[in-house]
């Protein structure tokens, strides 16, 4: 979950809509997340490289999930092979600057936005202004500073397959606030009459993520003061 404060948009994957009508499918994305969140890296079942020492597997995994939701793949090994492939099918949904190029820890193999929470967040916040067509992320809801305090998320807007960024150390008026963690929304439960606190309401949103290989963790239990929710689309 290391932070990266430098962002190189030209190095980040842009998955483009094409004649195959590529589209992000949330149900496929969450299937990928819940099927693969606890697999060991660099294994037969999961060839993706562990980037925890050079970035963070939380964002690594979130980007795998987005890619799976776009390419219609729920198996880690199959997704890895697809991203490394030069087949016509893969070229149809990727440009020449891909998320993930090889199973080696290197700046030339995974872009900084693939493996760093803050660079991925920066990409998401600016993706709708891309000159070329490609995967974008729309802001769904966020904690907002109002009259010196953070207002809560609009939970009614959150859907499965959304990407959540969390800033655990947010300080009002701080000059170095940046997100620390990336997670995938894998369940949204209806609010009940006994959800009387904000934390209880937040816990209806369930997250799956890596770094701690966790699934269906309540958003309220993450204890992050600043939260941003984005939705991938093409």
Residue in 153, 164, 143 with CA at minimum distance from that of residue 207: 164
Q: Is the pTM of this model over 0.85?
A: yes
Q: Above 60 in pLDDT, residue 54?
A: yes
The residue with tokens 């729309």 is: 138
The C-alpha angle with vertex 14 and arms to 127 and 83, in degrees rounded to 5, equals 145
The pLDDT confidence band at residue 147, using thresholds 50, 70 and 90, is confident
Q: How many CA atoms lie within 13 A of 183 on its CB side?
A: 27
Six-digit token string for 202: 């937040």
Q: Above 70 in pLDDT, residue 23?
A: yes
Average pLDDT over residues 74-79: 96
Question: Largest Cα–Cα distance in the chain?
Answer: 53
Is the separation of the CB atoms in 153 and 142 below 8 Å? yes
Residue in 102, 101, 124 with CA at minimum distance from that of residue 113: 124
The sign one gets for the Cα dihedral 212, 120, 7, 172 is: negative
- DSSP assignment of 131-181 equals SS---EEEEEEE-EEETTEEEPP-GGG--TT-EEEEETT--TT-SS----E
Give the single-character DSSP code of 128: G
Is the separation of the CB atoms in 163 and 184 below 8 Å? yes
The residue with tokens 């006994």 is: 194
pLDDT tens-digit series, residues 4-21: 444 444 333 444 333 345
Alpha helices, H only, 19-116: 26-36, 57-71, 76-84, 88-91, 112-115
The residue with tokens 């030209």 is: 10
Q: Above 70 in pLDDT, residue 60?
A: yes
Q: What is the mean pLDDT of the chain?
A: 84
**Residue 89 CA, distance from chain mean position:** 23
177: Cβ–Cβ under 8 A, 6 or more apart, which residues? 167, 169, 170, 171, 226
The pLDDT confidence band at residue 85, using thresholds 50, 70 and 90, is confident
Give 138 or 8, the one with higher predicted confidence.
138
pLDDT tens-digit series, residues 168-196: 999 988 888 999 999 999 999 999 988 99
């Amino acid at each position: 979950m290391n932070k990266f404060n430098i962002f190189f948009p030209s190095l980040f994957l842009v998955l483009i809509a094409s004649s195959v009508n590529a589209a992000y499918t949330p149900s496929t994305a969450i299937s990928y997340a819940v099927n693969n969140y606890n697999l060991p890296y660099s294994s037969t079942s999961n060839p993706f490289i562990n980037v925890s020492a050079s970035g963070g597997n939380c964002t690594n995994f979130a980007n795998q999930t987005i890619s799976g939701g776009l390419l219609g793949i729920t198996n880690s090994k199959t997704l890895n092979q697809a991203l490394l492939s030069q087949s016509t099918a893969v070229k149809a949904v990727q440009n020449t600057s891909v998320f993930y190029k090889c199973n080696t820890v290197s700046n030339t193999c995974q872009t900084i936005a693939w493996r760093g929470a803050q660079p991925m967040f920066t990409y998401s916040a600016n993706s709708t202004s891309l000159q070329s067509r490609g995967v974008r992320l729309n802001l769904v809801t966020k904690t907002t500073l109002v009259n010196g305090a953070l207002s809560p998320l609009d939970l009614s807007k959150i859907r499965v397959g959304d990407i959540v960024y969390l800033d655990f150390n947010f300080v009002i008026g701080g000059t170095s606030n940046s997100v620390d963690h990336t997670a995938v929304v894998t369940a949204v439960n209806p609010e009940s009459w006994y959800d009387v606190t904000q934390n209880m309401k937040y816990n209806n949103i369930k997250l799956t993520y890596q770094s701690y290989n966790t699934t269906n963790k309540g958003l309220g239990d993450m204890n992050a003061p600043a939260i941003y929710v984005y939705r991938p689309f093409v």
